[in-house]
Amino acid sequence: MLLAVIILFCLAGLFSWVVAFILPSNYNAVQWILIACLGYPLFYTLSETTVVGIGVTRRSGFAMLAAVSSLLVNFLGNLCLIPLWGAAGAAVSTCVSFWVFFILRTEFAIYVWKKIPRVSLYSYSFFLILGAVINSLFGNTYSLQLKFFWLLMLLSTFFSFKKEFLGIKGFLRSFY
């Protein structure tokens, strides 16, 4: 699931400029906040794959604690960022709060059930959130550098997820 989330973030980062051709010119700035807006559904989906332990052990209080904590992060983020950055600040705040939600749900599930490897999970998600935040707030200024960043992130998956790509290749070969 992490691989799918990384690829979707990177593709959005590489091709967000297409939005300028689809929407009216008044909405050109949407291309910069698009990636942060994708953070909510992607981090939520990723958290659904790591939160299994809370459901299995029936300790739903931990799920509520994660939700309330991320709500507070979003509230404070909106309070601080919207006056300065407007819609970009709201997108960043929501993206960061869902990243916190994902981390808390994962950690609580590990606490109540069993451990899972988290180094690549947290490393990649940190860089995705960092790229989304920078893209939203400074994308217009650092457009070319951000395209390079998203391309590097995408290329890094070929090394980090080599086994998964080989599995996909084998799966696709079984159809031919």
Domain interval for residue 107: 60-157
Model confidence pLDDT, tens digit, residues 42-57: 999 999 998 887 777 7
Q: Determine, yes or no, domain membership for 132.
A: yes
Q: Determine, yes or no, domain membership for 66.
A: yes
Q: Determine, yes or no, domain membership for 107.
A: yes
Q: Determine, yes or no, domain membership for 54.
A: no
pLDDT of residue 176 exceeding 80, the answer is: no
Q: How many domains does the chain have?
A: 1
Q: Determine, yes or no, domain membership for 172.
A: no
Q: Determine, yes or no, domain membership for 13.
A: no
Average pLDDT score, the chain: 94
pLDDT of residue 37 exceeding 80, the answer is: yes
Give dist(CA 137, CA 51) in Å, integer: 31
Give dist(CA 140, CA 78) in Å, integer: 21
Identity at 107, one-letter amino acid code: E
Q: Determine, yes or no, domain membership for 98.
A: yes
pLDDT, residue 165, reads: 87
Q: Determine, yes or no, domain membership for 115.
A: yes
